[in-house]
Amino acid sequence: VRTQALDELDTMSDLTDLDAWRIQYLGRRGALTQVMRGIGQLPPQQRPEVGQVSNDVKTTLETAFDHRVDVLKQQRLATTLAQERLDVTLPGFPVSLGRLHPTTQILREITSIFAEMGFQVYDSREVESDLYNFELLNIPPYHPARDMWDTFYINERVVLRTHTSPGQIRAMQAFHPDPIRVILPGMCYRYEQVTSRHEMMFTQVEGLAVGENITMADLKGVLENFARRLFGDNRRMRFRCSHFPFTEPSVEVDMDCFLCNGEGTGCSMCKESGWLEILGAGMVHPQVLRNGGYDPTVYSGFAFGMGPERITILKYGIDDIRLFFSNDLRFLEQFS
Ligand code: PHE
């Protein structure tokens, strides 16, 4: 039994065959077990010897079996390693790099320009109370100016902010009584019919400076410097009278049209006016300063609000604002 079993074991190259072998010799009905079971029927003098020999054979077979299993496992590992070896000289698959969203890119550009002028970023909330989004900005309930911002209401007193201006109050309350120089970038929401010109979500960057002796000239200087840095030295800019309930006086700022160079004739981008509006601004209204905790007889300030998507649209002549949130790679890949 021993010689035969060991010979067979040597020829086996497969783990399933090995298992069959184990059952055949060492299993409960295996050859060796039969011999051992038969010991009881032998004449008493023969029993110790046969018992001794079969135990030896059993140990030998078990050890040989374990050894063979090890050898086969090693072999299998070696073949897998050989077959699945990596050929590092093969050409690789092209790796496609992700890009920053155009809005993220313009936000970073805007932030770094203002950072150089000493403005830090202040984060304000997207879900606002009616109080901060409207009332503390001089827009009481039923004020006709509410029509300027079509509003998503969470409930009667809570809204999705329609502009970043409520952050002015939050920043004032946080910084009081220190002077302030911050920008507040973030998402805004308006209950708009979505068209190529209107989205219900968009980004704004609010700016706020509060201190002693801040004048309209400071506002003009900051915005002019900003526009020069963003659009280049050769563009013209104009300040136009406007109205916002939370600034007095208020202005809107236009750049000469990128498409027709301010010529106007036949231009669809600026509707033949030669000008494109890029932001609203003004001197912080005394009551708004008061609402933020600053005494308007001592302090003054300016504020502005711009739409980065709008600026990107103007800069690249994009004809559909919906492209910004439709995740179309053909659009996004153009901004590397
Ligand atoms: N919040 C105004 C808007 O969304 C813009 C603005 C900001 C105007 C700050 C003046 C001062 O239209």
Residue-wise pLDDT for 140-184, tens only, equals 998 887 777 789 999 999 999 999 999 999 999 999 999 999 999
pLDDT category at 39 given cuts 50, 70, 90 is: confident
Over residues 200-227, the mean pLDDT reads 97
Give 244 Cα–ligand 1 centroid separation in angstroms. 7
Whether the Cβ atoms of residue 224 and residue 237 lie closer than 8 Å to each other: yes
Q: Which atom of ligand 1 is nearest to the CA of 204?
A: 4
The pLDDT, as a whole number, for residue 313 is 86
The pLDDT, as a whole number, for residue 251 is 98
Q: What is the ipTM of this complex?
A: 0.98
Among 114-128, 133-147, 214-228, which stretch is predicted with the lowest mean pLDDT?
Answer: 133-147
The pLDDT, as a whole number, for residue 158 is 95
Query: What one-character DSSP code corresponds to residue 196?
Result: S
Please say if the pLDDT value at position 138 is more than 90: yes
Q: Could you report the per-residue pLDDT of 59-110, keeping only the tens digit for each?
A: 888 888 888 888 888 888 888 888 888 888 888 888 888 889 999 999 999 9
Pocket of ligand 1 (CB under 6 A): 163, 165, 206, 244, 247, 280-282, 303-305
Give 296 Cα–ligand 1 centroid separation in angstroms. 20
